[in-house]
């Protein structure tokens, strides 16, 4: 995977972008139909990989697809975002797909329709000047800050340790409350689990710029799972698959644009969220971390950005099961639907 990332990135980028540009069907809305009112529920505050929604709105992709995007709501965690979409408070959501799988076993009937992070952006992070992390074993004996009550980051910590032959006993766990970065910057903890496309650029701004952090991305060290993606409720997909199709199509058009010109994407995000005016560099760095490290894979090369495959989905489930997050006995059914992505690239290979 690392090799693909470094050597073929540019090739993959060109290929995917080209495929999209040619492959995406032109817009078709039924003449005279009332546009659908739609709300999007994000998982957290706005960050780089949320750009597609803003770009699609700004460039009229939603409008052309008969969708009136009423609001893009900031969130308070993937779990809440999943619940709100399942309840019908919003039509589409963005959040952590492993959390979606777990929530499904609790009756939250959402389905992933676009896998934005082909690899999980979660990583173990430390301040390089204090504790350099070259291999996972360098974590031994360090104080790690995480919140056992707060879902995905803590799960990742356990999974990362486990996948690399260690356990919680090898580190000193200190319970912290989000945002964890404060503790790392102040040196209260030696390392934290975090997202390369969220906290890392924010931290780098405070710890001395790119390179000031040691980062071990889980996907490079044995953790194979999807990261975040777009989801909708089973109800919506059942009742109005046409709306879901149009939404995904508009989203993917924007995805292409974001990947091709991240600078423009960031400007659009800031225009929609003026409080981010002073955070331009951070937003851009978040987006570039994703472009470099999570948006692309062999699947996207052959089938287009956002593709979800059964294989990778199983890998994600397997990872959750080996961490005790899912019962090993019952293999969760469903949970993703790649139809809409696939239908947006009719020339798919």
Partner 1 sequence: MTTGVAPHRPGPAARSELRRGASQLLPPAFLLVAVLLVWEGVVRLLKVSDFALPAPSAIAAVLIRDQASLAENAWITAQEVLLGFAVSGLVGAALALLIARFDRLGRAVYPLVVLFQTVPKIALAPLCILWFGYGLAPKVVLTVVIAFFPVALDMLSGLRAVDPNLVALMRSVGSRGGEILWRVQVPTALPYLMSGLKIAVTFSVIGAIVGEFSGAQAGLGYIIQFASTQLETPLVFAALVEVSVLGIVFYYLVELAERLLVPWSPK
Binding site for partner 1 (CB under 8 A): 44-45, 71, 73-76, 80, 83-84, 87, 89, 179, 181-182, 185-186, 202-203, 205-206, 274-275, 278-279, 282
- Rounded Cα gap, residues 160 and 266, in angstroms: 31
- Rounded Cα gap, residues 173 and 265, in angstroms: 38
- Rounded Cα gap, residues 252 and 52, in angstroms: 8
Name which of 183 and 313 has its Cβ closer to partner 1.
183
Contact 246, 67 (CB under 8 A): yes
Q: 69-84 burial by CB neighbour count: b if 16+ within 10 A, else e? A: beebeebebbbbbbbb
Contact 67, 141 (CB under 8 A): no
Asked if residue 179 has a cis previous peptide bond (ω within 30° of 0), the answer is: yes
Name which of 203 and 213 has its Cβ closer to partner 1.
203
- Rounded Cα gap, residues 328 and 322, in angstroms: 8
Name which of 71 and 129 has its Cβ closer to partner 1.
71
Name which of 73 and 174 has its Cβ closer to partner 1.
73
Q: How far is the CB of 150 from partner 1 (least distance, A)?
A: 12
> What element of type H or E holds 232?
strand 228-233
Would you give the distance in Å from CA 226 to the centre of its chain? 8
Q: Is residue 73 classed as helix, strand or coil in its secondary structure?
A: strand
Name which of 59 and 73 has its Cβ closer to partner 1.
73
Name which of 42 and 113 has its Cβ closer to partner 1.
42
Name which of 286 and 338 has its Cβ closer to partner 1.
286
Q: How far is the CB of 178 from partner 1 (least distance, A)?
A: 8
Q: 174-188 burial by CB neighbour count: b if 16+ within 10 A, else e? A: eebebebbbbbeeee
């Amino acid at each position: 995977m690392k090799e693909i990332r470094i050597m073929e990135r540019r090739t993959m980028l060109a290929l995917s972008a080209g495929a999209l540009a040619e492959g995406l069907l032109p817009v078709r809305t039924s003449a005279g139909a009332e546009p659908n009112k739609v709300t999007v529920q994000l998982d957290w505050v706005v960050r780089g990989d949320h750009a597609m929604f803003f770009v699609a709105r700004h460039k009229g992709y939603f409008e052309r697809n008969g969708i009136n995007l009423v609001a893009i709501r900031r969130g308070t965690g993937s779990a809440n975002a999943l619940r709100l979409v399942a309840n019908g408070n919003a039509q589409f959501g963005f959040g952590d797909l492993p959390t979606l799988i777990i929530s499904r076993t609790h009756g939250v009937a959402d389905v992933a329709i676009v896998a934005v992070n082909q690899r999980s952006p979660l990583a173990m992070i430390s301040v390089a000047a204090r504790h350099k992390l070259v291999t996972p074993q360098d974590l031994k004996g360090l104080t790690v800050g995480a919140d056992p009550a707060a879902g995905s980051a803590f799960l990742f910590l356990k999974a990362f340790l486990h996948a690399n032959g260690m356990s919680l006993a090898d580190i000193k766990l200190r319970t912290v409350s989000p945002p964890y970065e404060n503790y790392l910057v102040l040196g209260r903890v030696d390392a934290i689990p975090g997202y390369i496309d969220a906290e890392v650029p924010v931290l780098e701004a405070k710890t001395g710029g790119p390179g000031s952090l040691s980062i071990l991305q889980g996907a490079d060290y044995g953790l194979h799972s999807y990261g975040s993606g777009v989801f909708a409720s089973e109800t919506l997909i059942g009742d109005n698959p046409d709306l879901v199709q149009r939404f995904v199509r508009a989203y993917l058009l924007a995805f292409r644009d974001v990947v091709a010109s991240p600078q423009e994407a960031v400007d659009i995000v800031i225009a929609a969220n003026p409080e981010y005016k002073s955070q331009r560099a951070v937003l851009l760095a978040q987006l570039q971390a994703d472009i470099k490290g999570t948006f692309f894979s062999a699947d996207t090369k052959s089938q287009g950005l956002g593709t979800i495959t059964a294989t990778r989905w199983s890998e994600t489930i397997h990872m959750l099961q080996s961490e005790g997050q899912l019962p090993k006995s019952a293999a969760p059914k469903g949970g993703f639907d790649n139809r809409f992505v696939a239908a947006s690239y009719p020339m798919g290979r």
